[in-house]
A = this chain, B = another copy of it.
Amino acid sequence: MARRRQSVTIKHVAADAGVSLQTVSRVINNEANVRPQMKERVQASIDKLGYIPSIAAQRMSGSRSYLILALNDRERTIEDWRSRQGSDWVDQMLYGGMLKCAEYGYRLIFELVDTHNDHVERELQAAIAALQPDGVILTPPHSDNPLITGVLREHNIPFAQIGSEGAGGGIPLIMGDEGAAHLATNHLVRLGHKKIGFITGSAEYLLSKWREDGWRGAMDNAGLPTDGLCAEGNFTFKSGLEAARKLLDQPARPTAIIASNDQMALAVLKVAKELGLGVPADLSIISFDNTPATRFAQPPITAIDQPIAATSSRAVELIISAKRGEDLPDAPTVIPAELIERDSTGPAADRSAANSN
């Protein structure tokens, strides 16, 4: 394969504009100390020749690679891709992250790492050495991994921690999980529900606790008890099945259930059907995440939308700000989640009959 050289380099531009390399470089990087007139002349040559700086060369000498690394969990991501259950987490990350990167002339590189593995550190070191990214976006359940945050701090690379409150020294962004759980719970309370069950996510994810806390808090505020209404899940359909059975197989069963993600909500729906419960007539369901599956369910499921695209977009902005030495917010950035009403929620059924059990 022939050796490919840059077709038009900074040298060509310099020659064409009759200035030094340095001046061209200054114009490219929008630095001070260039007379407007000079700048214009150089820019004209750049446009004329169609010059684009090589990021490899920029990275070699300077400190910028214009690359931002988005780190995701390998196991979970591959399983999502393989199973094709319609989780669009990756798409939404790219949607927000790539487009925002493009605005600033950056590129997002999507990278997978092993969580349950001592290699994380080595994998990350390798990615950093190979790519020299200008910033890294950490996603759950890696966001607070001290091995990862340690390496990043050591290399002095700005990083965003999505779903983290910022332990580790990065830029924390959260999607308002606790508030969202309030939203969901209150919505059900307003519909007249008194017994509102909750299925937790895996404890490995901080947001699992936030969501549970939000539900408990809202129940408290409404003066409603939570005893026997919380079942453990781990985000899988299977765990949702078990949790749903546990909640619904009791005499005084809940009239509504909030599931910590869509797959588990789908499982609740299935168990409801098995038990002959109408949704929403006998049981209301709300889920977290709002992946496409919620739209296609029968009935479509009311869900808390996880604003992944907005969050990764903001993460990119903050990383670039940090890179520029600009001030960052003191508190974690919160991207609020919204409740998307669909057909799986309705007024609480009159439970006098059922309660007579």
- A side interface size, CB within 8 A: 65
Residues of B within 8 A of A82 (CB): 95
- A48-80 Cβ-contact flags toward B at 8 Å (1 or 0): 001111111101101101100000000000101
A52 and B129 within 8 A (CB): yes
B292 and A63 within 8 A (CB): no
A116 within 8 A of B: no
CA distance A90 to B86 in the complex (A): 12
Closest to A157 in B: B4
CA distance A81 to B292 in the complex (A): 11
B94 and A52 within 8 A (CB): no
Please pick, from B6, B132, B298, the residue contacting A129 in the complex, using a CB distance under 8 A: B6
A4 and B88 within 8 A (CB): no
Please pick, from B85, B95, B109, the residue contacting A78 in the complex, using a CB distance under 8 A: B95
CA distance A246 to B50 in the complex (A): 50
Residues of B within 8 A of A57 (CB): 56, 60
CA distance A201 to B81 in the complex (A): 25
A60 and B63 within 8 A (CB): no
Closest to A125 in B: B50
Closest to A80 in B: B91
Please pick, from B56, B94, B323, the residue contacting A110 in the complex, using a CB distance under 8 A: B94
A313 CB to nearest chain B CB (Å): 12
Q: Which of A190-239 contact B (CB under 8 A)?
A: none
- A105-119 Cβ-contact flags toward B at 8 Å (1 or 0): 001011010000000
A105 CB to nearest chain B CB (Å): 9
- Residue numbers of A with Cβ under 8 A of B are 1-4, 6-8, 50-57, 59-60, 62-63, 65-66, 78, 80-82, 84-86, 88, 90-92, 94-95, 98-99, 102, 107, 109-110, 112, 122, 125-126, 129-132, 155-158, 290-293, 295-298, 309, 322-325
